[in-house]
Copies of this chain bind each other. A is one copy, B any other.
Amino acid sequence: MELLKEKIRQDGAVKGETILKVDSFLNHQLDIDFLHKIGEEFARRFKNKKINKILTIEASGIAIAAITSTYFENCPVVFAKKSQSKNLDGELLSSQVTSYTRGTTFNIQVAEKFLKEGDNVLVVDDFLASGNALLGLLDIINQSSATIAGCAIVIEKGFEDGGKRIRETGVQLESLAIIKSMNPKTIEFEN
């Protein structure tokens, strides 16, 4: 997606060799007009998949998922939670995830009642790097009676192995920008 690559080049900042900061439009401040363009593009790429549910993970995936949902018909969003809450009860599906960004391992959880037979689920997230979070979300869908429709990612770090791990499962993975390499001076894209 050319517009996204331009936006990353213009507003992104690379810290060291692995951190890409896109906090001015994607994961701290959110450029909602731009997220609409992302949602529209995801809808175009998955238009034949009869998607009727979106699964994401708190916190950065939520806005992207909510806006993307607007481009599918009658398509609620469910977000996996990273911590215990008094608001979470009943039967839970969970999976263990190690996060590079936060340097921790944690359980992600979804109430079982929100992933039912007949739900064809698109998984949405902002970043794909090691693939741990995304594989955790796919694991949760596999534990439920719902089916996996595909994965919609805004930015894939092509120099990490998450994309390969997901594609090997046979799941349709659409990453709107795939970064081949980056450093504080330049960002090179694969796609």
Contacts and interface: CB of A to CB of B under 8 A. Distances in A.
Interface in A10-49: 15, 19, 21, 23-25, 27-33, 35-36
- Counting contact residues on chain A (CB < 8 A from B), the size range is 35 or more
A173 to B, nearest CB: 23
A24 B113 CA distance: 9
Contacts of A77: 29-30, 32, 63
Nearest to A110: B28
A59 to B, nearest CB: 4
A120 interface: no
A33 B86 CA distance: 26
A34 to B, nearest CB: 9
Interface string A53-66: 00000110011011
Nearest to A75: B32
A83 B32 CA distance: 23
A11 to B, nearest CB: 12
Contacts of A169: none
A1 interface: no
A32 B63 contact: no
A30 B81 contact: no
A110 B23 CA distance: 11
A79 B23 contact: no
A110 B111 CA distance: 30
| Residue among A30, A103, A114 with max Cβ neighbours from chain B (10 Å) | A30
